[in-house]
Chain A
Amino acid sequence: MRYLPKSPTDRELMLREIGIRSVDELFAPIPAEYRLKRELDIAPSMAEADILDWFRQRAADTAASGYANFLGAGAYHHYRPVVIDTLISRGEFFTAYTPYQPEISQGTLQAIFEFQTMICELTGMEVANASMYDGSTAATEAVLMAARVTGRRSAVVARSVHPEYREVLASYAKNQGIPLAEVPFLENGRVNAAALEKAITDGTACVLIQSPNFFGTIEDVAAVAEIAHRKGALLVVAIAEAVSLGIVKPPTEADIVAMEAQSFGVPLSFGGPYAGVIATKEKFVRQMPGRLVGQTVDKQGRRGFVLTLSTREQHIRREKATSNICTNQALIALMATVFMTVYGREGLKELATQNLAKTAYAVEQFGKTAKVLFQGAPRFNEFVVQTSKDPKTLNGRMLKQKIIGGLPLKKFYPELGNASLWCCTELTRRVAIEAAATALSPQKAKPQVVSTEVAQ
């Protein structure tokens, strides 16, 4: 076995040193009746070349770069600068553990400190944690955190929050005795503020909205914050599309921001691993879950970084901890840190503006052949289209043109009829937008295969 650095002689020698004859003696503590008396039903060891070949075939059976992809909905197709993989592949980063021993973990610790700083800069919050599992669990943990901060035990959730985020929240809230009230959206796609105000009671710990919301619409965060705060509730803002922060005003009026950082250079990877983040005001930091890196000094006054405020965490506080979360997503957070560094202060703005331009163009084109819903409020890089035919049928047709159409919404929002959610990023090409708009037309147009090659 090529991963095992021992010769048969080494093993013999070690057994002799231990004072036993065979390795079986080491397994004597396991009662014989329970031991597996056969081989595992798993194929024998494979050669590297065969493994690569097997996965190449699986990859070939899965659509990716060869298609023009209009899916967003919480997972976004952005360009990943090549330096990301170069840097995260350094063994010192990717084969290290949680930085419990700061003297030999300063690389990881400093990178996390930089991550926390960049998240604060982008969200307008004062503190950010070292990352969590993903956006859905971050939003959930943010709601639980609001309950701890306020001592209140219910939450109000906008229906325009990602449906799967809401499902995750429901699984957690049910067992914590936190009832959830859902608030509908308006015709412009924004949360219904009047209904929201009515839904908030003296027991409401927080209001959870998403901005840009699931439909791509940017919420009026300040107005919602005003309503929530007036009733003594906190405002939690979820952000699923992090690139929006390059051009959309940060939700500074929020008390907690729960973010998905996938857009920042993390591969789509069929849904994970991604990285969630919670950012908040300094005064709430002791109720915030997840790891935190802080700056300090050694005896000679040299700057260094350590994990800090860890008494909030499970390994110390056990059943009284702020969360049961143990790992963060350090390597994914590092991808995001490199991405944010590559684009930086000007690039993130330019990148977000390109997304805005592609989407504005797509909305205009799609408007010619179908109905674009939720007009009248600003949107970032997603929009909802209503068609006369079932979007699944239309998408099936487009697949032949190497186009992956928008996400059919019937499963999540039956009230929207034949609606689908479309996303355009800097990678979406004009020809693909035009081809997709044509394909949505009720008049049957001649299907054209979209080339994903860059135009010469």
Chain B
Amino acid sequence: MNRKIKKATTHVIQNEGLIFEKSSPGKKGYKLPELDVPEVNPSQVLGNAARADLGNMPEVSEIEIIRHFTRISTWNYGVDTGLYPLGSCTMKYNPRINEIVARLDGLANAHPYQPEKVSQGALLILQALRKALMEICGMEAITLQPAAGAHGELTGILLVRAYLQSQGNPRKKILIPDSAHGTNPATAAIAGYEVENLKSNAHGMVDIPSLEAQMNEDVAALMVTNPNTVGLFEQEIHKVAEIVHRKGGLVYMDGANMNALVGKVRPGDFGIDVMHLNLHKTFSTPHGGGGPGSGPVACKKIMEPFLPIPVVVTKKDGTLGFDYDRPQSIGRVRAFYGNFGMHVRALAYIMANGRDGLVQTTEDAVLNANYIRKKLDGVYELPYSTPSMHEVVFSDHKQTAKGIKTGDIAKRLIDYGFHPYTVSFPMIVHGALMIEPTESESLEEMDLFIDAMKNIAEECENTPEVVLSAPHTTRIGRLDETRAARQPILRWKPQAQSAKGD
């Protein structure tokens, strides 16, 4: 074992096949209550719509289910395991009180269509969260309906379209900086707009002269991420907004990086018209292996009439209810009211932090990123000298001389007991290593990470083959992704298994 690897060591891990491979007829993991009404014969009730059998669905007992999922869970790395520096994803701690309150009977078991009269508690939660998020963003209206960040982007751009339409012309194009998340151009296209790329300047920010040149009456909006995906605050954001507004366009902010701003500055105060938030980033709702997310959209008063239906309102009698009568609304983007369970968690997080904790959280997130930046500057190349906010982007430029790329360094980091950073994004930085520690990391954990990154840089010089063939300590090695894409196997089938799990 490499003595330089301090955080991790090897440990016996259980092997486990697919659940279907444990199945055998007659095993059961359930028991239904006795039926208190007369039995029915399905083929009599359903006729030829009745189903004969359920094919290869598994038949297993409860203990096998517990062991199966427990065993495979140990092959994962989570925030609970350690530093998870996946830039742009904001892998912060997921407080446990959030989980407890979201599972309270009245909240977890409330039906979305039950009468408003017996839903006042749930409605109050929606109202309280809306109020807090508007205050944090400096905005005057909000919808909680979008189910994720990209869904929020779409909702926001549809609001832009509806507003401009009401002014007489929805316009044709959306300007998007070359450093943007891929969801931005995809969203603009789904909303029926053409995408026009806007280049970044030598500091990694929106290039003002290019914006001046490209902004005209055909442009509906600029979609900007601030801090941008390189982790830099758009210092001339007010100028950017002014240029767009002067030509009658709107400024959309991708709020993916809002965790760098909470309590310090409000997008509504620096010229943003509409934005989304990712509750699973800034407000600690769990990522859960890729979702659920939640992407509320906050906007200025001018766009309020167009918000998706329904909107939570206080009625004449003082109780809360849903308003569906909004003739200018963009319609619906999701059934019901959005990911309520995530709204509950985000509100619990805001309450636990309070105004004092929210600001300290922002400060610690920025402090942590800058600490890592300082310690690794010189070890890895910093493509931009501009000060970082909540994340720092290095490049693999120094290491490519030995044929080692950012993806290889990332794999080696696994052996050191860490989840890799974000690899090869943003695309404007060639060979990017995008590191976001979040506020959830202690000094000790960060020093271990810095130490690991320094050791790997040395290995790149002295023993590059160790890095190139990493990881060495995981249950399985690097997987053949080409094979997976050329001959896709997207489901299990009996017998036809070519490679058996060991």
Contact = CB atoms under 8 A, between A and B. Distances in A.
A127 B261 CA distance: 42
Interface stretch (B207-215, B393-401, B457-465, B484-492): B484-492
A63 B475 CA distance: 47
A296 interface: yes
Contacts of B33: 426, 454
Given A4-B361, A330-B288, A342-B29, 6 more contacts: A14-B368, A29-B232, A58-B122, A64-B106, A93-B289, A318-B182
Interface string A79-108: 001010111111111111111111111111
B466 interface: no
Contacts of A186: none
A19 B266 CA distance: 27
Contacts of A29: 232-233, 235, 386-387, 389
B187 A324 contact: yes
A295 B484 contact: yes
B293 to A, nearest CB: 4
A32 to B, nearest CB: 10
B484 A306 contact: yes
A48 B84 CA distance: 26
Q: Which 7 A-B pairs have the closest CB atoms?
A: A331-B288, A271-B336, A59-B106, A91-B80, A61-B121, A45-B354, A271-B112
A133 interface: yes
A93 B389 contact: no
A176 B154 CA distance: 13
Contacts of B371: 14, 17-18
B37 A358 contact: yes
Nearest to A104: B77
Q: Which of A247, A292, A350, A396 has the most CB of B within 10 A?
A: A247
Interface residues on B, range: 35 or more
B335 A46 contact: no
Contacts of B478: 103, 298-299
Contacts of B6: none
A207 interface: no
Interface string B72-94: 11111111110010100101011
Contact of B107 (A58, A165, A314, A334): A58
Contact of A315 (B45, B182, B414): B182
A327 B151 CA distance: 9
Contacts of A323: 186, 190
Given A171-B333, A273-B339, A298-B478, A69 B78 contact: no
Interface string A314-340: 111111110111111111101000101
B277 interface: no
A317 to B, nearest CB: 8
A75 B264 contact: no
Q: Which of A29, A127, A317 has the most CB of B within 10 A?
A: A29
B30 A133 contact: no
Contacts of A83: 29, 62, 65-66
Contact of B118 (A63, A248, A299): A63
Contact of A324 (B94, B109, B124, B154): B154
B163 to A, nearest CB: 14
A389 interface: no
A343 B57 CA distance: 9
A52 B97 CA distance: 8
18 contacts: A5-B440, A45-B352, A52-B100, A58-B124, A96-B289, A101-B420, A249-B49, A267-B109, A268-B108, A269-B110, A271-B112, A272-B334, A285-B490, A318-B182, A326-B149, A345-B25, A356-B45, A360-B37
Contact of B476 (A52, A106, A268): A106
B432 interface: no
A61 B105 contact: no
